[in-house]
Amino acid sequence: MPMYGDLGNKLVSHAKRTQNLANLPPYQTELVRDVTREVRDLDKDVASLLEPFQGSFDPAADQATACTLLVNHLSMRRNKRCLLAYHRTRTDKLEELVWNGADILDLAGQQVGNANGATAGADGGANSLSPQEEDYVRQYGDLLAAYKGQWTDIDLTGSLEPPRDLFIDVRVLKDAGEIQTEYGAINLTKNSQFYVRQGDVERLIAQGYLQKLG
Amino acid sequence: MSYYDIDSILTDAEKIPCTFQLDIPDLGYLDNSPGQPLKAGTTVNLPLWLAEMLVIANTGSVDNNTFVTFDLPPALGNDVVSALKADPRAVPLRDRSAHFYGLATHMMDLSEEQELGQVLRKTFVSRATEIALHARKVGGTGHGHKGKGKDESSNLGLGNAGEEFLRGLDDWERKLFRKAHEGAKAGKEWMESIKKY
Amino acid sequence: MALSLPPGLTHAEVSFLAEMEMVTVVPRQRLDSIDLLSGKTPALRPPHRADLPLWLALLLKKQRRANIVPPPWLHPASLSQIVHRETKEDPSAFSEPPPLPSRASSRHPGFASRQGEDGEFIVSPPFRASCTADAPAGYLPYHWLEVAEALLAYAGDDVAGLGSAGEIRGLLRDLVEVRAAKMRDSAGTLGAEGGGGVVSLRGVGALELAENRGFVLGVVDGVRKIGASVEASRREEEMEYEGAGGGGVGEDESDEDMGI
């Protein structure tokens, strides 16, 4: 027998799994809708319970009703917490992906085989982001870009690993064209190898154009 | 324990036995019989998020009654506590509850179980030492160059007893294991990165 | 939320910082003083020894422009002595860090206050030179493991002057293992009857802290959470007790209060 709060719990279990995944699993559209519907139903119940009292309900005089109201209230509060925590977990993850330089189009296009059965979104297999989340990512990305743009000498989303050497050997995996460095221009053609300043090519390594050797 | 903390929300879903102190017409569904009234004296397992408030909320009557009374859940029963006193490492806590310590701290907030706190503290700490030991083995820090057979073999694997112990970790302990393991692994990776040069 | 690193320094960060430790070199070529952010380096004139930051010493070593004089504590005899102390003499504590050059100041606890002879300000480790040729033997400095591994990896021939690299590595492994076990057991003391004690981390190295920070903080946090509700109810009782006795407190009662 399902109880109030069970659906919310399912949603939070999804969030728990999300925390340990590298990618974002599909947004649980259907489940979110069900939980919000439950909250509306509970609210309706409260309204109809209180209706006969015409605004003069005395909990001490009608303890059974007071208890029912409390249970309804707690269930709504619980659902709200589950909903907020689920969305917060996802936005945290999204922010992390944006900081890591993930492409919004990559995210939106993720085709994830949905193995979660009954609770899967009706539009299963489509985008893993809700339209609101796509919007969030886009705007957060803009915000981050504007923030980063204030400093041209330092890459805020660069590697956090302290360098062992200033210069490194790299191999070119994909043609990346010509780049300008302090020591002149380098033409990065596929399969060529260079000894370059790490700071000059960090971005290209992160994007998969270059591979660090040794 | 933030509002958004996923583990704390999941812990709040753990159930404890509660006994209703008055008839409540609309809550029969809590006892699997919607449409029927819930009779006083009925015992129902309620999740903490519901039970906690019902236990402390005042009915508003003159004699300061509460809506429900509660008992310790089976996960914290006397048998478990005695087993923990005897040998904390031998009890698979996860079989009792995936959120064993979380549940227990909630129960200690509700009731004044002084002794439980002592037992739990000892349990947690002595198991933590064991967890760190296993995390280091699994992490394979690979410092087994001592040439002593005993040390070498202990680095090879966990053995059945070790696996069994790790399977029985509750959520707090799993998190602890992960932290210890990450530390040991980072140490190993650092050591290898230095040797490459 | 965007920062993916755990609190505290990572291994890579710690060993990067360890490269600021001063070590002693014997230059093979002349090199003029370099004006670094951290101050001027001494001019190098073979065969006179000079103290340089580890990163610069390693760079010169790679270019065969200098040899590094390993710190005395890395000598097998010194390491064996420390292993002996850690396992036999005081198996429950970490061995002492190197002694400070002077008594700590009462005005700035934790920092040595004496002005050096040439007027420089002497500070406590990790900022004090403890890996140079005049560092004391028999003590592990804050960055012992990072410096030892770096020297073994990049200046193996210089370290070989002390004794066989295999022996040194073996002793270092022993120390790592012994001290890791102590770190684990230190968590056990938190469970002791009547509150348990605070774990003393005196003498623990930077890399060891990085490795164990997550675990130790996790244990402390767990103990705190378990103790929190007991503590709360104890306080409540105390409040009630004080409230009840608030009217006319007799002398006997306040004595009892002291007893608790």
Whether residue B6 lies within 8 A of chain A, CB to CB, comes out as yes
Closest approach of A164 to chain C, Cα-based (Å): 8
Is there a single domain that holds both residue B34 and residue B104? no
Nearest CA in chain B to C185: B129
What pLDDT, on the 0 to 100 scale, is given for residue B139? 55
| Per-residue pLDDT of chain C in tens (260 residues, 90 and over written 9) | 456 677 889 999 999 999 999 999 999 999 999 998 878 899 999 889 999 999 999 999 999 999 999 999 999 999 999 999 999 998 888 888 887 665 444 555 555 444 444 555 556 554 677 899 988 899 999 999 999 999 999 999 999 888 888 999 999 999 999 999 988 888 877 766 555 556 678 889 999 999 999 999 999 899 999 988 777 767 777 777 766 554 444 444 444 444 33
Same domain membership, residue B78 and residue B67: no
Same domain, B65 and B83: no
Q: Tokens 């006083």, residue?
A: B40
**Single-letter code of the amino acid located at A189:** T
Q: What angle do CA A112, A117, A122 make, to 5 degrees?
A: 70
For residues B59 and B137, state if they share a domain: no
Ranges A46-60, A103-117, C92-106, C183-197, most confident: A46-60
**Of B118, B146, B179, which has the smallest distance from its Cβ to C214's Cβ?**
B179
Q: Which of A49, A85, A214 sits opposite B4 (nearest CB)?
A: A85
**What is the ipTM, given to two decimal places?**
0.84
pLDDT for res C243: 63
Contacts of B52 in chain C (CB under 8 A): none
pLDDT at C240: 74
Selected residue of A4, A38, A41, A63 to mutate for chain B interface (largest B Cβ count, 10 A): A63
Residues of A at the B interface (Cβ-Cβ below 8 Å)?
1, 3, 5, 9, 12-13, 15-16, 19, 49, 58-60, 63-68, 70-71, 74-75, 78, 81-82, 84-85, 88-89, 214
- CB nearest to A63's CB, from B7, B50, B61: B61
Q: Would you give the end-to-end CA distance of chain B in angstroms?
A: 44
Spatial distance between the Cα atoms of B36 and B39, rounded to a whole number of angstroms: 9
Residue C73 located in a structural domain: yes
Supply the pLDDT for residue C248: 43
What's the burial of B32, exposed, middle or buried (CB within 10 Å: 0-12/13-18/19+)?
exposed
Option in A96, A161, A162 nearest C2 (CB)? A96
Q: Are residues B127 and B81 part of one domain?
A: yes
**Least confident residue range of A10-14, A119-123, A194-198, C203-207:** A119-123
Domain range for residue C36? 11-189
Contact C229 B117 (CB under 8 A): yes
Cβ atoms of A38 and A79 closer than 8 Å:
yes
My answer on whether B167 and B130 are in the same domain is yes
Q: Find chain A residues with C-beta within 8 A of C5's C-beta.
A: 160
Average pLDDT over residues A91-114: 70
Domain extent, residue B26, equals 1-71
Q: Which residues of C122-140 are buried (b: 16+ CB within 10 A; e: fewer)?
A: bebbbebbbbbbebeebbb
Number of domains in chain B: 2
Q: Looking at residue B169, what is its pLDDT?
A: 96
Give the number of domains in chain C. Answer: 1
- Asked if residue B181 and residue B99 are part of one domain, the reply reads yes
Half-sphere exposure of A160 (CA within 13 A, CB side): 12
Res B147: pLDDT: 37
C1 contacts chain A (CB < 8 A): yes
Give the pLDDT mean for A195-212: 84
pTM: 0.82
Q: What is the CATH number of the domain that holds C69?
A: 3.40.5.50
Instruction: Chain B: list its partners (3+ Cβ pairs within 8 Å).
Output: A, C
Quick: pLDDT tens for A162-197.
887 778 889 999 888 888 887 788 888 888 998 888
Which of these ranges, A205-214, B122-131, B182-191, C31-40, has the smallest mean pLDDT?
A205-214
Residue A23 has pLDDT above 60, yes or no: yes
Q: How far is A147 from chain B (nearest CA, A)?
A: 27
In chain A, domain spans: 6-147, 167-212
Residue B136 predicted with pLDDT over 80:
yes
- How much is the pLDDT for B146? 36
For residue C226, being part of any structural domain is answered with no
Q: Do B30 and A3 touch (CB under 8 A)?
A: yes
Domain A6-147 sits in CATH 1.20.58.1030 = yes
Give the domain-ending residue among B52, B71, B90: B71
- C-alpha closest to that of B16 among B71, B58, B86: B71
Task: Give the mean pLDDT of A41-69.
Answer: 90
Which of residues B56, B71, B86 is at a domain's end? B71
Q: Which residue has the higher pLDDT, C68 or A123?
A: C68
Q: Do residues B131 and B66 both lie within one domain?
A: no
Residue A210 three-state SS: strand
Query: Mind telling me how many Å the CA of B124 is from chain A's nearest CA?
Result: 23
Give a yes or no: residue C196 inside a domain.
Answer: no
C186 against A81, higher pLDDT: A81
Band of pLDDT at residue B103, cut at 50, 70 and 90 = very high
Please give the mean pLDDT across all residues of chain B.
Answer: 85
Residues B80 and B146 placed together within one structural domain of the fold: yes
Cross-chain Cβ contact B9/A70 below 8 Å: no
B183 contacts C214? CB cut-off 8 A: yes
Around A164, how many Cα atoms within 13 Å sit in the side-chain half-sphere?
Answer: 14
